[in-house]
Amino acid sequence: MNLVTGASGLLGSEILRLSPSSVGLTSKDCDLTESNHAILTLEDGRVDTVIHCAARVGGVKANTDNVADFFDDNVKMNMNVLDACREKKLKLVSVLSTCIYPDAQYVRYPLTENQLHLGPPHYSNFGYAYAKRMLEVQGKAYRQQFGCNFISVIPNNLYGPNDNYDLDNGHVIPALIRKFHEAIVSESKEVVIWGTGKPMREFTFARDAAEIIIWLAKNYDGAEPVNIGNPEQVSIESLALIISGEMRYKGTIRFDNSKPDGQFKKPSSNNFLRSLGWNGEYTPIREGLRETISSFTDRYPNVRGVSK
């Protein structure tokens, strides 16, 4: 049986939906930055694998404004989870992010797992990125010294129905969906988006990532991290046009060039994942966006990041 940290979040909730026998752990159950008590007190034999999705996450603005907090909270959380898994002799699947990869001048594209430590990450989210990179390092250290079965997976940008729609702390897709929806409701004739719209991004439907993680938890015990994201790229401008079209927004989209773009591109390779035997397919972005938008509009304002 699996224990899923961050169970109320975008990825954790999808894992629980696909694996209903799993146990979910949320911030309401335990503050993992302070304690690993909830894992240590599990009845022996009840859980054999921990899927560690819990993290403090956010978009470009949140990462820039709170760089130390993002580093501190994620390092504390990861230390507590890994230590508890070591003590309880549990398998651990640590969820990282492609933002941990080195900035463009240090790597060859597409990003492969063997390039992870070739240089520093992009400056726009270095606190979060280094905390997540150290999670991979710590997992290997525990594997070497204590013989722990700790593996790491690296998704790219995730999105889906249970996303966080907070405009300061959410990522680009939920932020755009909320902006267009509220512009439609308020009859605003313009939506302003940070940056130039030119950066390229990869997006993976959270349900696809959840399926892959569950598969790897059962089928992979290796030391090397595994890229699991959909390698198809789309520009932020194209993404905004797709979302506005799906939502039937009739106003103008303006890109604010005075705001940062973040990293221009970070295409990744999933060849290693394929070599391990995973032969599934990714949800096309229009299909995933359509389901995500429908879920948002049906539940608004009772969605994460909007309802209080």
Q: Please identify every residue annotated as catalytic.
A: 128
Reference 229, options 211, 243, 217; nearest CA is: 211
Distance CA 22, CA 18 (A): 9
184 CB-side CA count, 13 A = 16
Reference 81, options 29, 23, 139; nearest CA is: 139
Q: Which two tokens stand for residue 195?
A: 């940056």
CB-CB contact of 6 with 53 (8 Å)? yes
Distance CA 70, CA 64 (A): 9
Rg (CA), the chain: 19
CB-CB contact of 140 with 92 (8 Å)? no
Distance CA 39, CA 86 (A): 11
Q: Which two tokens stand for residue 105?
A: 């001048």
